């Protein structure tokens, strides 16, 4: 199960890694074109952070699902064990005094 989860995570990461590397470099200056370029860079970085956040949430959800699955497997194994039945409580017979 863990191999499937990590394979899925790697595929998602590879699919978005091209977008993450596509952010333009920071532009210095105060011209309108440089300001627009920096705005585009900021939007690109925000999208990168959003994509990384989604990936981390997916990884967290996958890990939580794996833990629930393992808990269910453990519970099934515990349910399959024979139940303990305590022996009956010993009550000594009542002995009557001899007259």
The ranges assigned to domains in the chain are: 2-80
pLDDT of residue 2: 54
Q: What is the pLDDT of residue 74?
A: 97
State how far the Cα of 50 lies from the Cα of 23, in Å rounded to an integer: 14
Residue environment code for 56-66, b if the CB has 16+ CB neighbours within 10 A, otherwise e: eeebeebeeee
Per-residue confidence (pLDDT) for residue 15, from 0 to 100: 52
Residues 27, 39: contact at Cβ < 8 Å?
Answer: no
81: left (phi over 0), alpha (psi -120 to 50) or beta: beta
pTM: 0.56
Residue 62: the pLDDT is 98
Q: What is the pLDDT of residue 4?
A: 53
Per-residue pLDDT of the chain (99 residues; tens, 9 = 90+): 555 545 555 555 545 455 556 898 988 888 999 999 999 999 999 999 999 999 999 999 999 999 999 999 999 999 999 999 999 999 998 888 887
- Give yes or no for a contact between 54 and 20, defined as CB atoms under 8 angstroms apart: no
> Cα torsion for 48, 50, 51, 53, to the nearest 10°?
120
Q: In this predicted structure, what is the pLDDT of residue 76?
A: 97
CA distance 13 to 90: 67
- Provide the pLDDT for residue 55: 98
């Amino acid at each position: 199960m863990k191999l499937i989860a990590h394979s899925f995570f790697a595929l998602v990461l590879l699919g978005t890694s091209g977008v993450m590397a596509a952010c333009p470099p920071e532009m210095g200056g105060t011209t309108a074109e440089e300001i627009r370029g920096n705005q585009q860079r900021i939007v690109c970085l925000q999208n990168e952070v959003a994509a990384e956040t989604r990936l981390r949430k997916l990884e967290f959800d996958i890990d939580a699902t794996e833990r629930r699955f393992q808990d269910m497997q453990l519970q099934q194994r515990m349910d399959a064990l024979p139940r303990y039945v305590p022996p009956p409580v010993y009550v000594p017979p009542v002995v009557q005094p001899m007259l």
